[in-house]
Structure 1
Amino acid sequence: MGIPVFILAGLLVHVVFLASIFDIYFSSPLVHGMTPQQTPLPPPARRLVLFVADGLRADSLFELNSNNTPQAPYLRAILENNGSWGISHTRVPTESRPGHVALIAGFYEDVSAVAKGWKENPVEFDSVFNESKYTWSWGSPDILPMFAKGATGDHVYTFCYTAESEDFGAQDAAELDTWVFDHVKSFFNSSRSNQTLFSALNEEKVVLFLHLLGIDTNGHAHRPYSKEYKENIRKVDEGVKEVVSVLESFYGNDGKTAYILTSDHGMTDWGSHGAGHPSETLTPLIAWGAGVNYPQKVTSQLFEDNFLKGISRSFNYVKMRMLLFAQADIAPLMASLIGVPFPLNSVGTLPLEYLNNTDHFKAESMFTNAVQVLEQFKVTKHMVKKKNVSLNNNYCCTVPLSDSEQINFLKKARLYIQQQKYNEAVSLCKTLINLALEGLSYYHTYDRLFLGLSIAVSFVGWTTYVILVIIKTHTNLINYQSNNKVSWKFLLFLFSALCILAFFLLIQTSPWTYYVYCLLPVPVWYAVCFIYLKNCKFHLMCVVFSFFYRSTLTVGLLVFAGWPVITQLWVQAKRTTLIWTLLCVLLAVFPLMPVVGRESNIPLVIAAGLTTLLISCFSLASFSRGEYKYQSKEDLKVYLYQMFSIALSTYVVSSTHNSLKNKQGLPIFNQIISWMTLAFSSALPLLSPTLLFQRLFSILLSLMATYLLLSTGYEALFPLVLSGLLLAWIQMEQEALQHYGLSLKPKLAVFNFAYATDITQFRQLHLDDIRRSFFFVFFIVTAFFGTGNIASVNSFDPASVYCFLTVFSPFMMGGLLLLKVVIPFVLVSCAFEAVQVTTQLSSKSLFLIVLVISDIMALHFFFLVKDYGSWLDIGTSQLFLLGKFAFSVLSPPCSISHYVLVMSLTIFMMLMNGLAQLLTTKRLELSRRTKHHST
């Protein structure tokens, strides 16, 4: 197989591996075809008002200020005298879209749904809004449209401010909430002169939704303990008080309005959310009005959770109605209060503790809840049975809910209600709900084992194939004799196997992706068994490399520091060895630094910029004399312009953050300079000489200018230290060449990338080349985990992109964050390009070795992924093969992010290899005059 064909095959195989994780672990839980269920008794409320204070932490609302006064006095008075309060536990990922879906629709979106659409709905789902007679909503254009566009008919109305209003650099983000309160009050005042609107507002089953984004925006911009965040809570408290007054006046204090105030997610101390810290997952709930229980006085409340202890100290005398109930439970609570059908896909359990109604009403409501969840179970089970011939009607060894058992549960619960044994009925319904939810999970993941094994078999086959390619091509361990003849019997067997698998999938009406996953092992193992193993005798040794904790990089770098001493290279290059050791130790500090929870430290960014300028001055002096000397004035101009770009970036970072600190917004000049720097940074190295050190340093300066603009603290120093170590590595590898007695040892000072050719035919693979590949993989991993981890991506701090934009734009901000992550990868790839061509290392062997390492890691992570949580938290489940304790030590928690990262490594490596070749070997001449020399 030629190199282009092999690369294409590898790319396609790994795309399949990467895509499979979403079909296996993250398919949509939604099913359709259920019958709506609602409580048959009259509801206590005609209308419901839902306040969602985006990004509001539970402790920020409930705890007292330093002067022992409440942060929100109106809401405090409500929960002490008129309503009930509690803590809602959100499920990760703690982001706005899945939080609101759980609140209003009652189910938890899978991760892939968040990736498919932010404002739009990748799938249709039912919600309390859809089941209402009318819903009016005010707030963010990122949240409201997805509930309106998913509703049937024309009865969900939205009023949104512009997307440009969501500005992290605005003087006061609380204006977003003021906009909502003002428009609600104006809406009700104007409705008195509009008879159609007035009549609609006086209907039953009406929902009013106020989405309040100011607290979240101020939390991101100023942190939750800032005066801006706390002042925003006070303004929300005042706004809620005014809106309640307007509504009570409009409806004549009829006592038929229910109010709920909660949050979609919380926020960490450093102003981020997305992961599973209690500050992110614990959100407040205050309910009052029609049908809601009054506060219950108690002498004291004790909580084991440290986060809750601080809250409980403020409310020892007012009982928390229900501790840590699920966020999805709020949807059935709202449906019960106004008497609409429970959302069809809701998995919430009605929190009866919040209802102020008869025991009969509570029992009927819980019975409705049980039937609604059971409907989902029945539809899901029917769908799985329909497409799986192996699942017969009596299959119930795992899920104890056969058809007869379902009927018995319902009959018994109905009998209890008729006999007025309401407590027994409620208890039985809760049991039925739990069993139905267990069954939902079972049937939803019914195909997981089959598909997972198919991918695992492909993984093992592909990895074996790659190892054989390495051994055959680059060592003498295999005596391979080409034999292109293939037995017709084998071809018949192969075709028969494919047909049987295809027929099996066809009768089960499987989606087309299942065909890919299940049929892939056949050609992969064909390549292994009948192309290579047929005529091969080999000895194989595999070393598994894995990573879990950032601190292991520190240990690795400290070991690397002693590498020259162990191999006696220090005898040949004492100066380079000293530099290598010092830089290894210095770089080892970065993995020990925090990646989330740290405050911005702009002086460090400025220091990094000034240090880069200082190094540039010394380098300029070196490049102006001897073997490094610039060959033209144009080359010198490019270098000086890059130094000016570094100085300008340093100024922009300082100026921007000072402006935002003074609440003066993002200066337009700074924004223009930032985007221009980003646009030209990748092209400038192509104007510089292609001599090794000059081109590599030009790449560093261009990328560093952009990296400074995206930095907020110590990470700005990371590319400098990493690049210094990589340059030392290039020198060290040159010294290592003498171990092979190679005479073609190029002099680095005059080495020109433009004249580098593929010299892989000059020598076979040596053991030291495996070490070089391992170094490369290690540096690639260090490039990512040196200053970040999965949490740093999951809990993205928008302060990193303030030089480019402050208006909320998730995909633009995410793209800039990705660019920041990629820059160290480019530096490592360019350095290894130099190592590869100067040490006569085969580029194909590098790719194959990295492929083996990444595939072994990916297969390990594949079986540790779980199907819920954030990109940080998904994957903490373990395979208890060696015992709980032993395996938890050998295999720490991993996530889908780890799997995606490892799987993307191969694809990413090919892209980085091509980019590195472009950045190191190509040169733009522009309008330069070509000089002709006679020979």
Structure 2
Amino acid sequence: MAISGSVWRLLLTGLVFHLVYIGTVFDCYFTSPVVHGMQQHALEKGEAKRLVLIVGDGLRADLLLAKNGFPMIPSAPEVVAPHLRSIIETRGAFGISHTHVPTESRPGHVALIGGMYEDVSAVTKGWKTNPVDFDSVFNQSSATFSFGSPDILPMFARGATPGKVEMWCYDEHEEDFTKDATALDVWVLEQLRTLLHNATSDAALDARLRGEKTVFFLHLLGLDTTGHSYRPHSKEYMVNIQVVDEIVKQTEALFSEFYRDDETAFVFTADHGMSKIGNHGDGDPDNTRTPLIAWGKGIRGPLPDSSPSSHDAYSTPFGLSHLLRRDVEQADVAALMSALIGVNWPINSVGVLPDIDPAKPGYLQAKDGEKTQAEAALVNAKVILEHYRVKHVEKKTHSLLYRPYSYFLHAENTEELPGESQIALIDEMIQNRNYYQARLQAKEFIAHTLEGLRYLQTYDRTMIRGIVIAAYLGWIAFVAVSILLPPDEHLSGSKPSLHIAAASVLVGFWGLFARQHSPSTFYVYIVFPCYFWDQVLVRASKPVLQYVRQGQSGSIIKLLLRGLLVVGALQSMVAGYTHRTIWSAWFVVIGVLWPLVAWPTQARNENWRLLLAWTSSCLGTAVFPFLSVHQEENLIGITSGAVAMYAIGVFGIRRFKFANAQEGGLFKTVVFVLLNNLGWSVILVNIIVHDLRDKKGVSPILRFIGWGLFLSTAVLPFILRVGRDSPHARLLSFFLGFGACFVWLAIAVEGLFYVMYSLTLCLWVEVESVLHARAQQGSEQRNKPAGKDASTYRPKADDLRIAVFFLFFVQVAFFGTGNSFYLEPVYRLVPVFNPFLMAALLIFKIVSPYIILAITFSILNARLDLPPFSLFLVALTLTDVMTITFFLNVTDTGSWLEIGQTISFFCISSLLLVWSAGICAVGEVLMAGQPRGHAVKQSKKD
């Protein structure tokens, strides 16, 4: 059937709208941390001549510090990092550095070294290149010598003064997840050793190394690589911690031997932690808690624990409860390093020096004692205030009816600069040697200034929220009137005054945005609600009034009640994002309760075999959401999934018959090849997994063959479009083609889920066909031809239910198993770090069930003799009920797990709609030419 231009326009508008509006969550809740035109500040004199920053990439605090942290490993030592522990116990300060989401390497290092939390746009560049220019401690140093990964070091050299940051990086291909990653860390130590050795015969180099305000940066990537490959609780991760501990020990010895003084400060920390399954990037608490250990020149020694205790249940296993634990936010580390060597705070730093709070011991042991701490507090207050002042001037200059943050309102009345009197007061206290009160005042002032900065950064939040809600509600109404009202009624209520009103609102907002110098995205955001509501009012005003005048209010009430039921169902799906067992409950409802309550008794009796198969399939699929998301690599589970796919393929060869012998022969050939590839894939995966477990790596030959099998299996169904007259035969070829990825990229039972999910979808088509046929019996509509395209389609109550079911299957395809994002299976094909290729493979694995959903949904459309995209248009009307809920739930406060989840859920909800639309389009293309309702019935009679 043809798809009209109006339907294409509707679909395209929806896709563009949802893609654009994903950006609203960042404009509303997260703004760029970079502010230009600020004055920089520094302490007059640093405590140390040089600083050594050592970052154990991907190091969890608990596994470094806990006693008996690896009980699952025989003969594991009680203390896995004895040297670092001895520093904590005898000559250093320690605590937990709490990271922000996203817990990735790049934003973590930017926070540590730049003192700011990364602009989220960096994710589009793989957290590699600089989306915005930023300052850093390295750039403020006299010279920085950095060693480590080519993924981290270049970004600090790129934005720095030329020649200030020198770097030594290994090649990218050395980041091999199948090799011993400790070699990367040992390489860093050897490069440092070589540098110091070369200085003994190079006077110029020796002079640079001995200069003040010098920084050495050792980036140790091994733990991150090892954690991804073997997970944090593995023997390999434990050994890597021991290697890092030894590197720290030898680094100290190298500096002691080369400099022969006590002017070096050391800071050891991590950019992020790692979850139990070897992943990071979200708000999992194990990803956000990293160790911070500081010692050397200018750093205090260990202190007895405070009262109340600084420890909690998390740090009790450390066995360090007798010592003070001083926690910091990750950006605070940059402020600490700046104070230690006396350089300017990075210009965009929002870090707070731990020593500002006079009620808690910090990390510094300054030569001038509390005086230096008070002066550092003053510097920190000036740094934070610069942020507020620049933002304040920007908002005051461009905003209408601007109201400054309440703490600084008095400055508006006295015409002084915001914070000027408070800064003067702190300075006066220092001059009067009232250091305690100066620090206390600075602490309070910084807290208020950071709140004020947040106030200004979120100044437009209420307006954006209003625009977003208006846009999503407008889209729902726009799609509803597009598919509910006949085309002639679309034009009957057209009024020029409504168009003029919408245009006036649009121009008014554009004028406001221009006055406020708002981001260009704001101009785009406001277009959508203006357009949607203009179209809704034009198309629906007259038909709705006529409907009410005709006395059909009872029908309206029924429609509202049905709408409330649908909204309730959609809200339960919202809850399913955080409570996966809800998806299992859904399967019980549609597999058991729905047939008992809603099916006609005669339909149940006549189709009891179909009912039994449907119920069994739903209950079988319901098992998977109950499974833990934390899975170990399981070859039995992987092989079982492949065997189930193989059995279905063999059944298909024997079951499907073709009138055309040539078509039947081609089908059997394609399926035979796919089954052959599937079988070899199972064999190769078993071999590769055993080789990886034995640390033999992946043979290049096996990897080459694996890629050949993987790609050919996935591509073959697209090239040879078999079963043109048999939709299920064509579906089988795609099922087997995409099944290979659940062998190569599965960690456990994803293949079995793929089988059960696909079977449930196929049975859903049969169930809906039976119910549709029974509903058509005796109906006046049964002999009426279906509309030529979706523009003439008008949905019925059953279509609304089918659309809700479709949305349910869309969600289950993503959330049915919680183990789609494991990196371990990816190493079978991509052993060397390549974020985009790895992500592409994981996305391909996620897409695979959607291809099956798209094909079965297309078959369902054909079985019901409905136009293409007609049922999807109904779903399109419903899904943004969920999206609005997720948008309103987004938060940038609370735990990092809550922040990360709320952002992710909104983006997933928006993208799944876009994704589903594309997949449905693919399904219509793949199933083009299939027999439709009346033809299917006739073929069954024949």
| TM-score, structure 1 as length reference | 0.89
CA contact (8 A) 2:869 2:920 kept: no
Q: Offset of 1:761 from its aligned partner? A: 9.2
Q: Structure 2 vs 1, CA of residues 397 and 211 (structure 1 numbering), >3 Å: closer, same or farther?
A: closer
The letter of the residue matching 1:470 is I
Q: 1:589 maps to what in 2?
A: 623
After TM superposition, the structure 1 stretch with the greater mean CA deviation from structure 2, 580-589 or 545-554, is 545-554
Contact 1:377 1:439 in 2 (8 A): yes
- Does the alignment pair 1:717 with 2:735? no
Partner of 1:767: 797
- What secondary structure sits across from 1:85 in the alignment? strand
Q: Counterparts of 2:289 and 2:201 in 1: how far apart (Å)?
A: 43
User: For the Cα contact (< 8 Å) 1:301–1:316, is it kept in 2?
Assistant: no
Paired letter, 2:717: P
Post-superposition shift, 1:86?
Answer: 1.7
- 1:300/1:631 CA distance change after superposition, 3 Å: same
Equivalent-residue separation in structure 2 for 1:695 and 1:872 (angstroms): 43
Residue type of the alignment partner of 1:205: K
Q: Is the 8 Å Cα contact of residues 28 and 113 (structure 1) preserved in structure 2?
A: no
Query: Relative to structure 1, is the Cα distance of residues 899 and 556 closer, same or farther in structure 2, using a 3 angstrom cutoff?
Result: same
8 Å Cα contact 2:103-2:283 kept in structure 1:
yes
Residue aligning to 2:775: 740
Structure-2 separation of matches of 1:36 and 1:450: 33
Contact 2:177 2:832 in 1 (8 A): yes
Q: Could you say which residue in structure 1 is the equivalent of 2:940?
A: none
Partner of 1:293: 300
Cα offset, 1:810, TM superposition: 1.4
- Report the more deviating stretch, 610-619 or 854-863: 610-619
Cα 1:492–1:76 shift into 2, 3 Å: closer
The residue identity in structure 1 corresponding to 2:763 is: A
Q: Give the corresponding residue for 2:9.
A: 5
Letter in 1 for 2:320: F
- How many Å apart are 1:301 and its aligned residue? 8.8
Q: How does 1:338-417 map to 2 (within 5 A)?
A: 338-352=341-355, 353-357=362-366, 358-391=369-402, 396=406, 403=416, 406-417=419-430
Distance 2:635 2:448 in 1: 54
Deviation of 1:291 after TM superposition, in Å, equals: 0.5
In structure 2, do the counterparts of structure 1 residues 500 and 295 end up closer, same or farther at CA, with 3 Å as the change threshold? closer
In structure 1, the partner of 2:606 is 572
Give the one of 892, 908, 928 matched to 1:921. 928
Using the TM superposition, give the Cα deviation of residue 578 of structure 1 relative to its aligned residue in structure 2, in angstroms: 0.8
Pairing 1:838–2:852 present: no
Aligned pairs for 1:478-557 within 5 A: 480=489, 482-483=491-492, 486-487=495-496, 489-536=497-544, 537-538=546-547, 539=556, 540-541=559-560, 542=563, 543-544=566-567, 545-546=570-571, 547=573, 548-549=575-576, 550-557=580-587
Q: Which residue identity is paired with 1:410?
A: I
Alignment of 1:564-713 (within 5 A): 564-566=595-597, 567-568=599-600, 569-595=603-629, 597-623=630-656, 631-686=663-718, 687=720, 688-690=722-724, 691-713=726-748
In 2 relative to 1, CA 400–355 (structure 1 residues): closer, same or farther, beyond 3 Å?
Answer: farther
SS at match of 1:843: coil
The 8 Å contact of residues 284 and 896 in structure 2, kept in 1 or not, is answered as: no
Residues 518, 765 of structure 1: CA spacing in aligned structure 2 closer, same or farther, 3 A cutoff?
Answer: closer
**Quick check: 1:233 aligned with 2:248?**
no
Question: Judging changes above 3 Å, is the alpha-carbon distance between structure 1 residues 224 and 503 closer, same or farther for their aligned structure 2 residues?
Answer: closer
Instruction: Name the CA shift for 1:490/1:70 in 2 (closer, same or farther; >3 Å).
Output: closer
- Contact 2:91/2:295 (<8 A) preserved: yes
- 2:475 corresponds, among 451, 462, 476, to 462
Could you list the per-position Cα deviations for residues 626-649 of structure 1 after superposition, in whole angstroms to 9, with x for gaps in the alignment? 879874433221111011011012
Of 278, 283, 302, 1:276 maps to: 283
Q: How many residues align?
A: 875
Structure 2: state its 5+ residue gaps: 356-361, 548-555, 780-785, 931-942
Q: In 1, distance between residues paired with 2:297 and 2:896?
A: 40
Shift of 1:492: 4.4
1:92 CA drift (Å):
2.3
Aligned to 2:48: 45
CA distance, structure 1, for counterparts of residue 702 and residue 660 of structure 2: 35
1:157 alignment partner, one of 154, 160, 166? 166
C-alpha separation in 2, matches of 1:68 and 1:761: 71
Task: Supply the RMSD in Å over aligned alpha carbons.
Answer: 2.7
Q: Distance in 1 between matches of 2:411 and 2:774?
A: 70
For residue 587 of structure 1, report the CA deviation from its aligned partner. 0.4
Instruction: Name the structure 2 match of 1:850.
Output: 875
Asked if structure 1 preserves the Cα contact closer than 8 Å seen for 2:658 and 2:664, the reply is no
Q: Report the CA distance between 1:20 and its aligned residue.
A: 2.5
In structure 1, stretches of 5+ residues that fail to align are: 745-755, 876-893, 924-935
Change (3 A) 1:327 1:512: closer
Q: Distance in 2 between matches of 1:919 and 1:868?
A: 45
TM-superposed deviation, 1:397: 7.4
Q: 1:297/1:395 Cα in 2 relative to 1: closer, same or farther (>3 Å)?
A: closer
Residues 652 and 803 in structure 1, CA contact (< 8 A), matched pair in contact too: no
Amino acid at match of 2:248: V
Moved more, 132-141 or 522-531: 522-531
The structural deviation recorded for 1:681 is 3.4
Alignment partner, residue 750 of structure 1: none
Q: CA separation in 1, counterparts of 2:662 and 2:527?
A: 58
Q: Is the 8 A contact 2:98 2:329 kept in 1?
A: yes
Indicate if the aligned counterparts of 2:483 and 2:791 stay in contact, CA closer than 8 A: no
Instruction: Report the Cα distance in structure 2 between the residues aligned to 1:407 and 1:129, rounded to whole angstroms.
Output: 30
- Residues 395-442 of structure 1: CA distance to partner in whole angstroms, max 9, x if unpaired? 737978764662221122111111111111111001111011001100
User: Could you tell me which residue of structure 2 aligns to residue 783 of structure 1?
Assistant: 813
Contact 1:266-1:280 within 8 A present in 2 as well: yes
Could you tell me how far 1:496 is from its partner in structure 2?
3.7
C-alpha change, 1:397 and 1:134, in structure 2 (3 Å) is closer
Q: Look up the SS of the partner of 2:406 in the other structure.
A: coil
2:450 alignment partner, one of 411, 417, 437:
437
Matched, 1:28 2:58: no
Q: Give the equivalent residue in structure 1 for 2:112.
A: 103
Q: Is the 8 A contact 1:93 1:870 kept in 2?
A: no
- Which one is further off, 581-590 or 724-733? 724-733
Q: Distance in 2 between matches of 1:762 and 1:854?
A: 22
Match of 1:883 in 2: none
Identity %: 36
Describe how 1:133-148 pairs up with structure 2 within 5 A: 133-148=142-157
Offset at residue 490 of structure 1 (A): 4.8
Cα 1:469–1:398 change in 2 (3 A) is farther
Q: Indicate the larger mover: 125-134 or 834-843.
A: 834-843
Is 1:699–1:919's contact at 8 Å kept on the other side of the alignment? no
Residues 502 and 229 of structure 1, relative CA distance in 2, 3 Å threshold: closer
* Alignment partners' CA distance in 2, 1:738 and 1:490: 44
In 1, Cα distance between equivalents of 2:308 and 2:198: 46
Of 68, 73, 81, the residue aligned with 1:72 is 81
Q: Which residue matches 1:747?
A: none
Preserved contact between residue 451 and residue 518 of structure 1 (Cα < 8 Å): no
Give the superposition deviation at 1:902. 1.9
